[in-house]
Amino acid sequence: MRMNWYYRMILSYTPIFFAAISLMIFIFFLVLNHATRDKYIETNKAILKRTVYNSDANLMLIERNVVGEMLTDPVFQDFFSDRPKSAVDDYMLQKKLIGLKASLPFGNTIYLYHEGERRVISDSGSYRLDDFGDREFLLHHYGRDTAGQWHAPRMLAYAASDERKQEVVSLV
């Protein structure tokens, strides 16, 4: 049985037809993959932008609350006066620091430095400056005009001999 010319032509173009269809399917999936990757990158950028915005807003809130408390609360102002302090004064100040710490959105650490007494007080205790673990950072930034600036993340330990350090971002 002989094939007529029509069937022979269709049979000869069949591999080209399958190759063209395969190529179109491959190109479709390639374009789909590229579009998906672009959407993924765009979504990640939007999430990152929103996270940075929320972090900035929270840091500004912390700064506003801390500065407001320091300027208006008599317990904080009394710490910086030259009158002798008692254990009750230190207890009241630590209680205020714990309350301030609890009102802030991030896990945080707050300490105050009194230059006349060379003493640091925090929510976890009172330290002489020589025994304070964050002494280098404190002395480096104390008395500078950089007050009110946020600093890059760094490691902090209250006691110089303390092995448990935590990463902090600092507002001086």
pTM > 0.85: yes or no = no
Q: What is the mean pLDDT of residues 54-62?
A: 85
Q: Is the pLDDT of residue 95 over 70?
A: yes
Identify whether the C-beta of residue 151 lies closer than 8 Å to the C-beta of residue 169. Answer: yes
**Residue closest to 154 by CA, chosen among 24, 146, 56, 140:** 140
Q: Is the pLDDT of residue 171 over 80?
A: no
Segment among 12-26, 89-103, 132-146 with least mean pLDDT? 132-146
Q: How far apart are CA 94 and CA 73, in angstroms?
A: 13
Identify whether the C-beta of residue 154 lies closer than 8 Å to the C-beta of residue 171. Answer: no
Note the pLDDT of residue 161: 67
- Residue 31 binned pLDDT confidence (cut-offs 50, 70, 90): very high
Q: Which residue has the higher pLDDT, 47 or 14?
A: 47
- Residue 36 binned pLDDT confidence (cut-offs 50, 70, 90): very high
Q: What is the mean pLDDT of residues 77-93?
A: 84
Note the pLDDT of residue 143: 73
Q: Is the pLDDT of residue 34 over 90?
A: yes
Q: What is the mean pLDDT of residues 131-137?
A: 80
For the chain, how far is it from start to end, CA to CA, in angstroms?
Answer: 97
